[in-house]
Amino acid sequence: MGYMQISGDIIVGIDGSRSCREAAAWALKEARHHDCGLRLISVVSPENRKFGSLGEAQDASANALATISEQLRALVPEAEFETVIEQGDPAEVLAARSEKAGLVVIGHHGSDQEVGGRIGTISFGLPGHALSPVLVYRESEDSEFDSADSHVLRGGGVVVGHDTSDYAGVAALDAADYASRTGAALRMVVATQADGDERDRAQTDLDMAWLRSQYPGLTVSAEYHEGDAAAVLAARSADADLLVIGKRGLGRFASMRVQLGRTASRVLHDAQCSLLLVPFREDPALALRRFVD
């Protein structure tokens, strides 16, 4: 089964930083797995003061795209992808592209970027405006270029922020998909309040059974932590391979009755691993999800 639905091309924002290069390699593997197109986009901002002219900025973008193209083809000689240079505000361009994209991938920060296109800085603004899922890639000491097939795994498994909302349900499906095919364990993290712990546990037990029915053989466990959802998720991301959260949703748990969009904006600042933000979609598997009476 493959519930992590990629319904269009994967788009990667390129600014020349190591973070974006690693993100592109991650995206290439995903594109091969989902058999979808891959498009690398470098956005030239006319307001960028790093370059003396628009022509210099365009040359820098071309060089950044040429460098990553060479690296990707060294990793996968038969790799197919498109490179594009666009002009405008990077956040606006990528958000517009997300309308028809299956996934938008950007690097986290990018302090060594050559293009100066602010791909890193828009990691805090793009996810809220993009219509597709967004993956904010955080690099580690190991490199995605070490393997043509396997992603970098830190050993902590996939963490998903969980509540009773349909948004969280879709995020859990995508997290389970990624965990299942990468051989990682799935950790469902629930932020609780003391008086809601029993209900939280009962619902999460139902949801773990639901995910196992969709992904036989999935290793899944639950963690319950009292406290603010964003702080809890950021802390649990310390050794995780991937953190997955729904972009928006009103949870039925007392501790999650704030929009996950607000939680996501805080987690974007504090997450210590790559972060996948998943918008709601109609998914037939949601009809099989049971809730505590």
Q: What is the pLDDT of residues 14-39, one digit of tens each?
A: 988 899 999 999 999 999 999 999 99
In angstroms, the Cα distances linking 254 to 55, 75, 163, 260, 278 are 54, 47, 10, 13, 22
Q: Which two tokens stand for residue 175?
A: 């997290």
Query: In this model, does residue 257 exceed pLDDT 50?
Result: no
- Residue found by looking up tokens 């969980």 in the block: 162
Whole-model pTM: value is 0.88
* Radius of gyration (C-alpha) of the chain in whole angstroms: 19
Q: Can you list the positions of beta strands (E) in 59-169?
A: 82-87, 103-107, 134-137, 158-161
CATH number at residue 267: 3.40.50.620
Pairing status of strand 275-278 against strand 134-137: antiparallel
Burial bucket for residue 37 (CB in 10 Å: 0-12, 13-18, 19+): middle
Say whether both 269 and 165 belong to one domain: yes
Confidence of residue 49 (pLDDT cuts 50, 70, 90): low
Which residue range is the domain that position 134 belongs to?
Answer: 10-146
- Tell me if 208 is assigned to some domain: yes
Is 169 in the same domain as 92? Answer: no
Q: Is the pLDDT of residue 172 over 80?
A: yes
Domain contains 246? yes
For residues 86 and 116, state if they share a domain: yes
Mean local confidence (pLDDT), 261-279 = 84
The residue from 87, 115, 146 where one domain ends is 146
Query: How many separate domains does the chain show?
Result: 2
Same domain, yes or no, for 15 and 134? Answer: yes
CA dihedral 247, 234, 113, 23 (to 10 degrees): -60
Of 48-62, 102-116, 181-195, give the range with the top mean pLDDT. 181-195
Q: Identify the domain boundary among 98, 125, 146.
A: 146
Q: Measured between alpha carbons, how far is 127 from 142 in angstroms, rounded to an integer?
A: 26
Bridge partners (DSSP) of residue 222 are 188
As a whole number of angstroms, the longest Cα–Cα distance in the chain is 64
Residue 281 pLDDT more than 60? yes
Residue in the structure block whose two tokens are 């029993």? 198
Kindly state whether residue 151 falls inside one of the protein's structural domains: no
Report yes or no on 136 lying in a domain: yes
Q: Same domain, yes or no, for 80 and 192? A: no
| pLDDT above 80 for 117 | no
Q: Does 168 map to a domain?
A: yes
More confident residue, 243 or 194: 243
In terms of Cα–Cα distance, which of 73, 82, 37 is closest to 145?
A: 73
Residue 123 pLDDT > 60: no
Q: Where are the beta strands (DSSP E) in 228-288?
A: 242-246, 275-278
pLDDT tens-digit series, residues 193-211: 765 578 888 999 999 999 9
Tell me if 293 is assigned to some domain.
no
